Structures are given as structure tokens and as C-alpha cells.
Chain A
Amino acid sequence: MDRNQIDSLLADLPREQGQLLPALHRVQHELGWLPREVFAPVAKHLKITEAQVYGPATYYAEFRISPPPERLVTWCSGPTCRVLGGDKVLRIMEAELGCELGGNSADGKTGLWLGQCNGSCERAPQVWVDGRVVGPLSLADSVRLARRIKAGEDVAPAPQGAVQIESTAVQVKAYHGAAGDDTGGHSASSAGER
């Protein structure tokens, strides 16, 4: 990461506090996390203090201030999963991967993180392996899944010919940059940052 990279990432964002979440999302999307060094250039671009960046960056659960592991197991913490045995799935994941929720496995390769319900509750209880839902999981399934993950196997490959959900509509650049009108110093002009 160098400073120019951050500057060019943020180049078209209006310089105001209201663009902080979009700015942090962009940086994290690019780097995978928010290294300490990005706060200063982000603050400078938005004309706010570094503390004003640091506060929200550490307040919101989805912003990460440590590098993500190679593989990520996200355990769904939702109540539908819970009433169908989700807590037992978690205990198995923790035991098999050898780490607590929120931590990484001993070799640092696999992370076990808490996820908030994405509303695919018909597949409860579930985990997401590198963002892909795997479920419904019996407890025996959970043990086997964790072991395969630990062995480095590809457990939830994106199916062949898959539509990349992440990018189906991202090419929508049309709204970036259109000049803002007078919005009391808080332009709402650059709709839709990712």
C-alpha cells in the first residue's frame, strides 16, 4: 500500500465527513483490510482528523483493522441458526479449527469470525466459507466440514460458469462524480459508492 494508491482510490470522492463510510469501504475492498497507515491519507482527503477516521473504523464490525486470513469461516450468529443448534456448530468449529470465535487458527491460515444473519435462514444452521453459504449443517457435517477446511480442501467452490454475484451490477460507474449542487456543504451527488 502506498499513499498514492489511496489517493487515487479516493480521488473522485467529495471531501467531507459524509464520505467516510464509502471511503473506508473502497480501501477495504482494495486491500482486504484497513492498515493503520491508511487513516492519515483518508483523513487528509476528507478534511477531517485521523481520530474522526479511527473512531468509525473501529466502531463498525465490518471494518477490519487486522489482515484477513487466507480462508474465512464466518459463523452465522442469527436466532434461526441458534434454535436449530447453531451454538453447537460454533463449539465444533472452535474445537476443530483450534481457535475461538473472532480468532485465527494456530497456523494463521483460517479465521473463524462472527457473521450477522444474511437472511438465508432456510439453510440454518449455516456457516459461510469464504462468503459462500454452507448449510443446513448437521453436527456431523460440521465436524467433517471443519476438517476439510483445515486440510486446505476446496469445500465451497464457486460453481462452474457461476455468475459473479459480487460483480453483476458493479459496472455502474455512471453516478460517480456528477457535480454536486449546493447541499449546504454536504453534497449527495456521488451516489452509490462501493
Chain B
Amino acid sequence: MADPLAPSGNAAYDAMLTAAAALRQRRDQPTKPLIRVDLTTSSVAAGADGLLGELRREAAARGIDCEIITVGTLGFSFAQPTVEVHLPGKQPVVYGPVLAGTTSAFLRQAVLGEEADADSAPALGVRPSGSTMRAPASAQDGGAQEGVPSLHEHPFWRPQERRLMEWMGVIDPDDIEEAISVGRYAGLARAMSLEPIAICDLVESSGIGGRGGAGFPAGRKWKFLLGSPGPIKYIVLNADEGDPGAYVNRVLMESDPHLVLEGMAIAGRATEASHGFIYIRDEYPLAVERMLQAIAQAEAKGLLSDGRPGSGGALGAETIQIRVVQGAGSYVCGEETGLIASVEGLRGMPKIRPPFPAERGVFGKPSNVNNTETFANAPLALVHGADWYREAGTESDPGSKMFSISGSLQRSGIVELPFGFPMNELMMTMGGGPSAGHTVKGIQPGGPLGGILGADDIGLALERPPFTERGVLLGSGGLILFDERACPVDLAYYFAQFCEIESCGRCTTCHGGSQRMVEILHRIIQGGGREGDLEQLGVLDDTMQNANCIHGQFTPYAIRGISRHFGEELREHLVGKRCRARSCAGLIEYEITDPLHPDLETAAELDSSGTLLRGSDGQWSLSGRGAEEFGVLPEVAPEAIAVRDRFAVAAQADESGRDVAADLAVAGGA
């Protein structure tokens, strides 16, 4: 790999690098305690903003001479808020969670070196100062320090291939000086000496594929736009990231916005585009602000055009001007033609392709849409070269990929791994497996359109081909592990409902099809399943393949995955009216088995429905089934009750599978 801090041959850039060197030195080898506070959406959800204020006040009150800065995230979402303390002459130590109200003890322990007490935050590990891209050459380099092990021994950290995430959680995302000090815009500087077609060739030979999930070679896509007539051409960055449970783009923008901008500027030069749009979903206000801040700083440095002729030419040729467009809550705007419509100020409804955006995109002009992570990979190829880029990953998917893992996991968070990494190692070793006492039931990859995998597929390699073979999508990098408490049929209903709500309404096949799918699945989870339902769902699936865009076409992926991996459970719902996860409220009922159990007292306090009644003998009883109106009962009084199948008798009476819905309604007292 090349050293991004080596002279680039671009005098203007090298001068910027030299000017930033002192800052890098100060941050990598501080002369007074340096405290880095992770300030991102995840850490703020855990109170990091309050913690930051508290740390500042506490340090001032104690007269501790230290520097407190805010940074992006290292990825330890499970341990938020995380704080890193770098003492002079030592290696930085990452702590988390550091809870508000414990900062006094924390500063005594982490900065003043006093004995840890009960209040103290746990140390996650020692992070060798500087780049996080490579593991230390020797144990001493990244080794333990005063009883705290190296981060490289932490299961969540050890296997990572931190290329995009190299400086995330280390540098201040609101400071372009620090971004430059770690080599941001070095790729752009190198691009200045290359012809546009040579940049496209380099990106193509590195094998950067579209990170939104399709994997289409970015270099080839850029060539389409380069070949389109100008002078007005647009580069569009898709940061709509609508897949719930996937948040790698958010982390990228919040933690290293200049990497994203640099990638766009390179794409701009490679395609001779005139302008860039960054389309960010409305749910990411902090990412919007960080990107706006970063653009303003890059414009001030002349690294991006501010719209005035001749601006943005600090490194040589003029660069593109970039504008942020904030979305407004529409999932289909993640589809590129829907996104383009939204940028134009229209309803975000996808259009039929062709014409492709490279021909007629934003405002009818040639355009190129790529995912945030795709753009962020471009600087890597420019700085380190195509051969280095291909050292990680697989033949079909070169390079690395960021993943967000969540669900029933010990350790949720953001990681970066080479493509091809085994999923079970990610979920079971790095993520620590399901929550205590539970077992893996399945995995939901790639968002609502991504389908569902069973527990037996957990060993899949994280690259596109094995996922595609199983009819699921690796998607943009969200992986959700669920355990035996989750009902796969309910999940199918849930995803159908999501797709119905988010259908743009253009094709009847999509909005009507998903609506019908919701109706059938809802009936099934309520105990009204009919024998013909599976065939009906199959017909809907076939029909929806005629929808204009992938929203409609992929909506049936969830139910397909359920049929494939959880077919038995689906039939149990359908025929036996039974939910083995005991999750579908319409199929279960509660029964009090210990009417004098003290936990029922607590339960009664939480019962607003009047379901739990106490007789004159002090015994508790239920006035109804309880499952729908009083879901809290099994959680607070598990030993006092039993959860039963509502339709157990009927299910036993009818194993033949004929339509028993009417009989069941009577049997269930409905």
C-alpha cells in the first residue's frame, strides 16, 4: 500500500499536508491528555452530548489540563457512549460505556491514574495511536498497557479490515485540517494529474462495485457518464439509506465526511460532471449538518467549487460544486430514478428505465447515481492503486464492506470486513451471538426487500454470489440476527406492510399486490389462514415481478424466504393456527397458573386494560385472553402464568388442512 502522506507530486496539496502535519503530531502524540468523545447518532442516543458537557465542566472544576475533542465513531455501538483517553507518552485507551454522572470517577481513573472504583467505566482496549487500518506488527506496538489489553485482542475489533473506517472515531469530522492531516484529498490530488478516462480505468480495474447492493462496477458506470454530452452533467450521491437496520452511510457521513466528498470530487473529475448532489434522508440530521460543514470547509480551501467561476481549483483543475438535498421520508427514493425525481422537487416515484440516468437523469441531463460507500472507496483506489485495492475481498466483490449488525446480539455495531468474510464469525464471534439464553433463528439481510435467511445459512460468505443464489440480497450492509422469540410469519407480515406503505403508488401490481399480501398475511397471523393462501401469495409474487421497479419486484422476497426456511412454521400458522414463537398475539392466550403469585401484584400495577382482576379471596384472574391488551404480563410475571395456544383444541381436531377458519372463530370465542 502507498503512504497517503507521502508527497503526491501536487505542490498545492503537499503544502496543505505540510501545514496540517503539526496538528497530526499533536493528535497522535499529545503533550497533554487528549480526550476523544464519540459524538454520533448512536452515542447521542446514549447521552454522549450530555456527557461531553459534563466532562468539560468536571475537567475545568478539577483543574485538569486536557484537550477534549469530538470525533466520529470507532463502531462500538454496543458500548456507547465511548470515550478515548490518550495520555502523553502512552497509547490511547478506549472506554465504554461512560455514563453521565460518572465523569468524576472516570477522570480520576482514566486521566489521573487513580484506582478504578465501582463507578468506573470499563476499558474496551488500547488502540495503537494513529491509523487503525493495519494490525500492529508486534505485540508491543499494540500491546497491553497497565493491565488493559490491546483492542486487537477484542473480538469485535480483531478481524476488521479498516480501510474506509481507518480514521473514523479518531479524527474530528468537523475539522478539515485534521482530515487533510490523515491524507484526505490525496486521492483527488493524484486524480488531477490523470485524464478522466484514466481515472475511470483505474476505478474499474480496482473492481469497486456499487455498494448499494447491486455491485455494478463503478468505473464502468462512470464511463457511461463521461461518454454523455455535456456541459451540464450531474453526479448524485445516494445517502437515502432507507433500509431500516442498515446505517453504514450514516456512520460514514458522520465520522469522515471529507472521505465522501473526496470520492465525489474524484468522480466529478472522472466523468467531467459540472455539479454534484448529495441526497440525504431526513432521518439523519447530524449527517446533513456534518456534510454541510464539510462542504463549506472544502469550498473555503478551494477543494470544491462554490459556484463562482474559477473556484474550487486549489489543486489544479476546477472541481464540482456539491449541494445537499435533504429527503423527506420516502423509501423508494433510494431507487435511483425515484431519487432523481426527488432531487427535482417532484414526488419520489421511480420511472421506467431506459432511458438510464447516464442518458437522461436529473433535470433531463446526464447523471450518475452511486451509493455513499461506493464514492468513499474511490480515494482508496487512487491513493493505493488497483492491485492493493484487490488484496482484500473476493473475485466477484473486491475490497472491503462496512456492515451494521444488530438484533438479538451481545455486541451491535459497525464493522468493516473484507468481502467473503464468514457471516457466522461476524455474528457469533464479533457480535457475540444472540442475547443470553436465546438461540439463533435466522438472519435478515439487505433491508425490507432483502429476504430472510434461516439459521442454517449463517455460515455464508459475505459476498454477493452466495446470497443471490439463495434468493436474498446482501444489500447495503445491514444484518439483523433474530432468535426464537421472533416469529418469521409475523416478520413476513411486517415487511409486506412496510413495502405497502412505501409503495409509490404508480403500478397497480405493486401497490395493489402488496396490499393484498398484507391482507392475507394479517389474516394468517390472526388465526384466519386458509388452505389456498400460499397459492394466492405465489400468484401475487408472479404478478409483482411485472412491477416497474425493484420495490414491487422484491417485495415478495420476504415471504419467499419464510416459505423456504420456515415453511413448517408458516403451515403451523396457516393450518394449526399456532405460533411456536408465542409472538403472534392473535394466536395465543394467557392463563394464570399461580393465582397468588406476588409478581401478579406488579403486573396489576402495569395493567391499564383492566384485564387482571383480584377476587375477594385474593386470587388473581384474567377477564380476557390478555395477549393483545396485556402483553406485558409474561415479562413481569413469567412464573405465575402460562402462555397457551389460543386455538390448540381446534388445531388438534383438524390436521387435514381444510379451511377451518369459521370453526376456529367459534372455538376461540371470537
A residues at B contact (CB < 8 Å): 16-22, 24-25, 46, 55-56, 59-63, 77-80, 82-85, 87-88, 91-92, 95-96, 115-124, 126, 132-133, 135, 138-140, 142-144, 158-166, 168-170, 172, 174-175, 178-186, 188-194
Contact = CB atoms under 8 A, between A and B. Distances in A.
Contact of A161 (B42, B53, B485): B53
B289 A168 contact: yes
Interface string B286-313: 1011111101100110000011110000
B323 A25 contact: no
A162 B50 contact: yes
Contact of B299 (A124, A175, A181): A175
Contact of A168 (B275, B286, B444, B494): B286
B629 A95 contact: yes
Contacts of B376: none
Contacts of A175: 292, 295-296, 299, 306-307, 323
A101 to B, nearest CB: 11
A96 B606 CA distance: 10
Contacts of B275: 183, 188
Contact of B632 (A139, A178, A185): A139
B629 A121 contact: no
Interface of B: 39, 41-42, 44-47, 49-54, 56-57, 70, 77-78, 80, 100, 174, 232, 234, 241-242, 244-247, 250-251, 274-277, 281-286, 288-293, 295-296, 299-300, 306-309, 321-331, 342-348, 362-365, 404, 406-408, 412-413, 444, 448, 480, 482-483, 485-486, 490-491, 494-495, 498, 585, 602, 606, 608-609, 628-629, 631-632, 635-636
A62 B282 contact: yes
A82 B323 contact: no
Contacts of B46: 123
Given A168-B289, A179-B307, A191-B295, A119 B324 contact: no
A117 B480 CA distance: 13
B345 A121 contact: no
A60 B42 CA distance: 25
A192 B299 CA distance: 13
B606 A21 contact: no
B447 to A, nearest CB: 8
B99 to A, nearest CB: 11
B321 A188 contact: yes
A118 B41 contact: yes
A122 B407 CA distance: 8
Given A78-B245, A83-B486, A161-B56, 11 more contacts: A21-B345, A82-B486, A82-B491, A87-B490, A122-B80, A158-B49, A159-B47, A169-B174, A183-B363, A189-B323, A192-B291
A179 B345 contact: no
A133 B77 CA distance: 14
| A25, A119, A170 — most chain B CB neighbours (10 Å) | A119
A119 B250 contact: yes
A57 B631 CA distance: 37
B629 A158 contact: no
Question: What secondary structure prevails in chain A residues at the interface with B?
Answer: loop
Contacts of A160: 50, 53-54
Most buried by B among A25, A80, A139: A80
Contacts of B602: 140
A192 B491 CA distance: 38
A79 B296 CA distance: 36
Given A62-B328, A116-B242, A143-B608, A178 B407 contact: no
Given A117-B245, A143-B606, A124 B286 contact: no
Contacts of A179: 307-308
B57 A174 contact: no
Contacts of A164: 49
Contact of B52 (A79, A132, A163, A180): A163
B307 A24 contact: no
A56 B325 CA distance: 14
Contact of A122 (B78, B329, B330): B78
B49 A18 contact: no
B345 A20 contact: yes
A35 to B, nearest CB: 17
A165 B632 contact: no
A178 B299 CA distance: 12
B323 A192 contact: yes
B363 A186 contact: yes
A85 B244 contact: no
A18 B344 CA distance: 4
A56 B347 contact: yes
6 cross-chain pairs, A with B, having the tightest CB-CB distances, nearest first: A159-B50, A161-B53, A119-B247, A20-B345, A117-B244, A60-B328
Contacts of B325: 21-22
B326 A25 contact: yes
B328 to A, nearest CB: 3
B292 A172 contact: yes
Q: Which of A24, A116, A133, A169 has the most CB of B within 10 A?
A: A169
Contacts of B51: 159
23 contacts: A16-B345, A18-B344, A24-B328, A55-B346, A60-B330, A62-B327, A78-B245, A79-B245, A88-B631, A91-B629, A118-B283, A119-B245, A119-B250, A124-B406, A140-B602, A163-B49, A163-B70, A166-B285, A168-B174, A183-B232, A183-B363, A189-B321, A192-B295
Contact of B482 (A17, A78, A83): A83
Nearest to B634: A139
Contact of A92 (B245, B282, B632): B632
Contact of B494 (A60, A79, A118, A165): A79
Contacts of B632: 88, 92, 139-140, 142-143
A126 B283 CA distance: 15
Given A83-B486, A175-B306, A138 B635 contact: yes
